[in-house]
Amino acid sequence: MSWKKISLVFLLLIILVYTCFPFYWAIVSALKKAGTGTFIVEYWPSEPVLKNFIYVLNRPAFGSTFFNSFLVSTLTVLFCLLIALTASYALGRIQFKGRTVLLLGILGTSMFPQVAILSGMFELVRSLGVYNTYQGLIMSYVVFSLPFTVWILTAFIRDLPIEIEEAAMVDGANSYVILFKVFLPLMWPAMVTTGILAFIGAWNEFLFALTLTISPEVTTLPVFMASFRGESEFEIPWPNIMAASVLVTIPVLIVVLIFQNRIVKGLTAGAVKG
């Protein structure tokens, strides 16, 4: 091996350590037997035990918030994809006045701070009687998921080959036929990619869940994580908390590792081409 190759491998190792060490450390800490009182820093767990994971899995709030997160994120994504499908076809394929401004407005909306509408959202949720319910939570998640979904889906739709559409137009097909008969079958990959990205965004959301829900029957995993105190009242049981951290992250990691190529494509489609 040449020097160049050796130094490159070394640099790759540095990147690996940088990206993986914190999560690795969470796993190692979660496998520890003792509480923090007698914690010893070890880079490899000498006597790994699963009791911290079992403890977290036995918390009723863990199971219920896990389910809530999954349900709320899934419903948010499905709803947003449905609305975004027609919107991004219009934005990506039809030339009309004000389209650029509209696209920029959508991009702007997706980047607005959630806190800017927090009190108004609280009032809306209260007025509709959906405070501390799934509906209220999903409603607030649409604020950031919908513009994001429209934006990414539009970027994808612009890349689809134009010839198919032209052929359909020559045959006299109207926009509805083109969208639902010609485009929809071609759009599944883009919808899956966009859906995954939007799902991760909703899964990780914290501010709205913290403010608009109160009970573990409704609230989400990040809120559970933020208030999780573990088994002791007096000291912070870090091995428990790390076990919870690992359990919360694993579903997202599995999704990310399975769909990594799509995710990279989706993330870059939104920015590199925009």
Partner 1 sequence: MAKIQRTKLSKERIRSAWIFLTPMFICLSVVAIYPLITTINYSFTDARLGDLYNYNYVGWFHYETLFFYDEWWWVSVKNTFIFSFFSVFFETIIGVTFALILNNNMPARGIVRAAILIPWAIPTIVNAKMFQWMFNQQFGVFNEILLDLSIISEPIAFLAYPDSSMAAAIIVDVWKTTPFITLLTLAALQMIPTDIYESTRIDGVSSWKVFWNITLPLIKPTLVIAIIFRTLDALRVFDLLYVLTTNSRETASMSVYARQWLVDFMEVGQGSAASTLLFAFLTIATILYLIITKTSFDRQGVY
Name 45's Cβ contacts closer than 8 Å, sequence gap at least 6: 28, 31, 32
DSSP letters of 152-185?
Answer: HHHHHHHHS-HHHHHHHHHTT--HHHIIIIIIHH
Name the minimum Å distance from CB 9 to partner 1.
Answer: 7
Asked if 234 touches partner 1 (CB under 8 A), the answer is: no
Stretch that binds partner 1, among 5-13, 48-56, 70-78, 180-188 (CB under 8 A): 5-13
Least distance to partner 1, CB of residue 173, Å: 10
71 in contact with partner 1 (CB under 8 A): no
179 forms part of the interface with partner 1 (CB under 8 A):
yes
Q: Which of 76, 193, 194, 211 binds partner 1 (CB under 8 A)?
A: 211
Q: Can you tell me the distance from the alpha carbon of 248 to that of 228, in angstroms, rounded to the nearest whole number?
A: 12
Contacts of 36 (CB under 8 A, 6+ apart): 235, 236, 237, 238, 239
Instruction: Tell the smallest beta-carbon distance from residue 82 to partner 1 (Å).
Output: 8
Size of the site for partner 1 (CB under 8 A): 99
Whole-angstrom Cα distance, residue 195 to residue 13?
Answer: 32
Closest distance to partner 1 from the beta carbon of 50 (Å)? 19
Query: Given the complex with partner 1, which of 54 and 111 has the nearer CB atom?
Result: 111
**Vertex 265: Cα angle to 159 and 263 (nearest 5):** 140
CA terminus-to-terminus distance, the chain:
41
Which tokens belong to 103?
A: 């696209």
- Closer Cβ to partner 1, 123 or 231, answer by number: 123
| Chain mean position to CA 98 | 31
Instruction: Indicate which single residue of 75, 130, 168, 263 sits in contact with partner 1 (rule: CB under 8 A).
Output: 263
Q: Minimal distance in Å, beta carbon 106 to partner 1?
A: 8
Q: What does the per-residue mask of binding to partner 1 show for 10-29, with x meaning CB under 8 A?
A: -xx--xx-xxx-xx-xx--x
Using the minimum distance from each CB to partner 1, give the nearer residue, 54 or 253.
253
DSSP state, residue 37:
G
6 is a site residue for partner 1 (CB under 8 A)? no
Task: State which of positions 112-171 bind partner 1 (CB under 8 A).
Answer: 112-124, 126, 139-140, 142-143, 146-147, 150, 158, 162, 169
78 or 263: whose CB is closer to partner 1?
263
DSSP 115: G
CB atoms within 10 A of CB 95: 5
